[in-house]
């Protein structure tokens, strides 16, 4: 918005977004900066009959993407979740990947389209159950195990003492693997994939802290980087516990 310009009273700024500015709700729609890939992805899902994402409804007069507003609750932060919620998330991610396969085949780069940020904070819950994913800024073709690894971390694993015993976290990683229907070979690679994702997060937030644009909300990049490093050390420390649960 230009300095001195009044905000449109019909637009409600949506909270929760950390990296993408200009996301607002108008009526039962969400307006976001346009993304050709998001448009392609959501139109593909609509054609495939997958209802676990919002519909793409076109572009508005400001050339923003118009997305369906999905009613429900979106957690502001990662938190402890139940086994049933983790299982439902794993099943939802499996359906997301299966519905994306034809598009990934056309694009190349991997067998499925990965969300790449499928944490609880990018998931719509209804009656306590995860039913849809939102925010596809990082989506791309890739290895489905990358998405499962990110979900294992963001839904099941935490170095914070308040998040419970490691054995309970490892059990939830097993619940996720079962719900997604990981193969034996994928289960053997899962915790290595979690570690690799944490390393990638360190690179991302290191660059963001040194020369990237500021985050819109939440802690600064340096704080996120320190937390990510603590999470990586936690996963490495208890690697055998997690691996045993998956065996």
Checking if the pLDDT of 4 tops 70, the result is: no
- Residue 1 reports pLDDT greater than 70: no
pLDDT tens per residue across span 28-37? 999 999 999 9
pLDDT at residue 227 in the model: 94
Range of the domain at 128: 83-246
Higher pLDDT, 140 or 10: 140
Q: Are residues 114 and 225 in the same domain?
A: yes
Least confident of 16-20, 52-56, 58-62: 16-20
pLDDT category of residue 226 using cuts at 50, 70 and 90: very high
- Checking if the pLDDT of 18 tops 70, the result is no
Task: Please name which of 7, 13, 17, 11 lies closest in space to residue 216, comparing C-alpha atoms.
Answer: 17
- Reduced to 3 states (helix: H, G, I; strand: E, B; else coil), residue 172 is helix
Residue 188: alpha-carbon gap to chain centroid = 23
Residues 242 and 153 in one domain: yes
Cα(first)–Cα(last) distance of the chain, in Å?
Answer: 54
Q: pLDDT band at residue 209, thresholds of 50, 70 and 90?
A: confident
Tens of pLDDT, residues 147-196 = 999 999 999 999 999 999 999 999 999 999 999 999 999 999 999 999 99
Q: Which residues contact 15 (CB under 8 A, 6 or more apart)?
A: 76, 217
Establish if 75 belongs to a structural domain. Answer: no
pLDDT at 7 > cutoff 70: no
Residue 187 lies in a domain: yes
The pLDDT assigned to 11 comes to 84
Of 68, 93, 114, the last residue of a domain is 68
186-204 in b/e burial notation, b at 16+ Cβ within 10 A?
bbebbbebbbebbeebbeb
Say whether both 221 and 104 belong to one domain.
Answer: yes
Contact 154, 78 (CB under 8 A): yes
């Amino acid at each position: 918005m230009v300095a001195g310009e009044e905000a449109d009273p019909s637009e409600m700024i949506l909270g929760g977004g950390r990296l993408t500015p200009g996301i607002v709700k108008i009526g039962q729609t969400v307006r976001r900066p346009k993304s050709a890939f998001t448009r392609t992805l959501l139109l593909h899902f609509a054609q495939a009959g997958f209802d676990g994402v919002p519909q793409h409804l076109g572009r508005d007069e400001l050339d923003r993407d118009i997305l369906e507003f999905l009613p429900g609750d979106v957690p502001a932060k990662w938190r402890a979740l139940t086994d049933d919620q983790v299982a439902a998330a794993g099943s939802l991610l499996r359906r997301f990947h299966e519905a994306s396969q034809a598009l990934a085949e056309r694009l190349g780069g991997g067998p499925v389209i990965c969300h790449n940020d499928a944490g609880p904070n990018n998931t719509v819950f209804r009656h306590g159950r995860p039913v849809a994913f939102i925010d596809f800024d990082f989506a791309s073709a890739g290895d489905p195990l990358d998405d499962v690894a990110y979900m294992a971390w963001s839904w099941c694993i935490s170095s914070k003492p308040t998040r419970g015993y490691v054995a309970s976290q490892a059990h939830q990683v097993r619940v996720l693997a079962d719900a997604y229907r990981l193969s034996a070979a994928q289960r053997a690679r899962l915790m290595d994939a979690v570690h690799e994702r944490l390393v990638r997060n360190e690179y991302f937030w290191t660059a963001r802290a040194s020369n990237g644009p500021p985050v819109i909300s939440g802690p600064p990049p340096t704080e996120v980087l320190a937390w990510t490093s603590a999470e990586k050390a936690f996963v490495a420390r208890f690697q055998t516990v997690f691996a045993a649960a998956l065996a």
